[in-house]
């Protein structure tokens, strides 16, 4: 009989721990979700005061024709080496 009481006591404690874990996980999730919604409404960047030039396209510099794939884009390995070289 003692073993049965011990089993129920341990089971009750386990259910409490699982319930608290789920509760705090949900609170954490909804807290992060609420903070994300607040951040969406903030204006992050100010408009430039002076006349700014809008960049419309980029020019590949340093990528040779031999480093391009059939579709004209850079090969992934050459992009990796550029990433390592530039330290980005």
Helices (H) and strands (E) in the chain, counts: 2, 0
Print the domain residue range for 6: 2-42+60-86
The answer to whether residue 34 is domain-embedded is yes
The answer to whether residue 47 is domain-embedded is no
What value does the mean pLDDT of the chain take?
79
Per-residue model confidence (pLDDT) at position 85: 79
Domain count, the chain: 1
Q: What is the mean pLDDT of residues 31-58?
A: 77
Dist. CA 71–CA 49, nearest whole Å: 40
Q: What is the mean pLDDT of residues 74-85?
A: 74
pLDDT at 70 over 90: no
Token pair for residue 78? 């050459």
Percent of the chain exceeding pLDDT 90 equals 35
Q: What is the mean pLDDT of residues 40-61?
A: 69
Q: What is the mean pLDDT of residues 52-80?
A: 61
């Amino acid at each position: 009989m003692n073993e049965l009481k011990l089993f129920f006591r341990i089971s009750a404690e386990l259910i409490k721990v699982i319930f608290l874990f789920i509760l705090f996980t949900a609170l954490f999730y909804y807290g992060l979700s609420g903070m994300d919604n607040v951040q969406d409404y903030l204006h992050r960047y100010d408009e430039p005061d002076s006349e700014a030039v809008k960049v419309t396209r980029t020019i590949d510099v340093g990528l040779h024709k031999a480093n391009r794939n059939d579709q004209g884009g850079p090969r992934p390995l050459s992009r990796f080496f550029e990433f390592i070289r530039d330290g980005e």
